[in-house]
């Protein structure tokens, strides 16, 4: 979109993070800038530091724990600002104090986190071990009570992978 005249734009910057439901069904929390282009009659949104809400079922039926993860990993895009078309958004709403606090903590965590290991690692078992460690730490932050269950699942996956016969050609 070519914009040459700032008079053609109405820009609204949210002062607090917002809940955003996308047409894809994803639930996002992000700081938001709405840009309406009067000349082209379109609205776009810049999502700053977006995180995707994850709903993790608990052992009790109908009860979920809410977790957050980067919407697009900083491995893919270090700059966490993304532009989407207004048609991609179903609804925007205010957050509860609880979710707002979770969001602030998640952003603080991701902004101080070191980059994931390089995918150029020649040793697949070492890379899997590094990635497993990263996943465990992120999952434990989402809900420490499910950490043991996930440890058991990851051990089962690793055992299955190790037990597969490998054919060298």
| Domain boundary assignment for the chain | 8-115, 118-169
pLDDT value, residue 76:
84
Cβ(28)–Cβ(20) below 8 Å: yes
Contacts of 85 (CB under 8 A, 6+ apart): 42, 43, 44, 45
The pLDDT tens digits for 117-161 are 555 555 656 655 555 555 555 555 555 555 555 556 656 655 665
What residue has token string 């700081």?
31
Percent of the chain with pLDDT over 90: 37
Contact (CB, 8 A) for 49 and 31: yes
User: Domain 8-115 classified CATH 2.30.30.100?
Assistant: yes
Q: For 10-59, how does the pLDDT look when each residue is reduced to its tens digit (9 = 90+)?
A: 998 988 999 999 999 999 999 999 999 998 999 999 999 999 999 988 88
CB 45 within 8 A of CB 71: no
| pTM of the complete model | 0.63
What's the rounded Cα separation, in Å, for the pair 46 and 99? 20
Q: Which residue has the higher pLDDT, 85 or 60?
A: 85
């Amino acid at each position: 979109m070519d914009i040459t005249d700032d008079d053609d734009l109405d820009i609204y910057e949210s002062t607090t993070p917002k809940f955003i439901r996308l047409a894809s069904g994803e639930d996002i929390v992000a700081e938001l800038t709405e840009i309406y282009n009067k000349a082209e009659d379109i609205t776009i949104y810049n999502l700053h530091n977006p995180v995707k809400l994850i709903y993790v079922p608990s052992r009790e039926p109908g009860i979920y724990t809410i977790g957050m993860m980067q919407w697009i990993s900083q491995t893919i895009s270090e700059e966490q600002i993304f532009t989407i078309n207004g048609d991609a958004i179903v609804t925007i709403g205010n957050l509860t104090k609880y979710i707002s606090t979770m969001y602030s903590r998640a952003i603080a965590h991701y902004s101080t986190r070191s980059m994931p290991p390089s995918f150029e690692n020649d040793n697949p078992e070492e890379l899997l071990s590094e990635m497993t460690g990263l996943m465990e730490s992120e999952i434990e932050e989402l809900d420490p009570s499910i950490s043991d269950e996930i440890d058991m699942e990851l051990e089962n996956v690793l055992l299955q992978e190790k037990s597969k016969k490998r054919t060298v050609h």
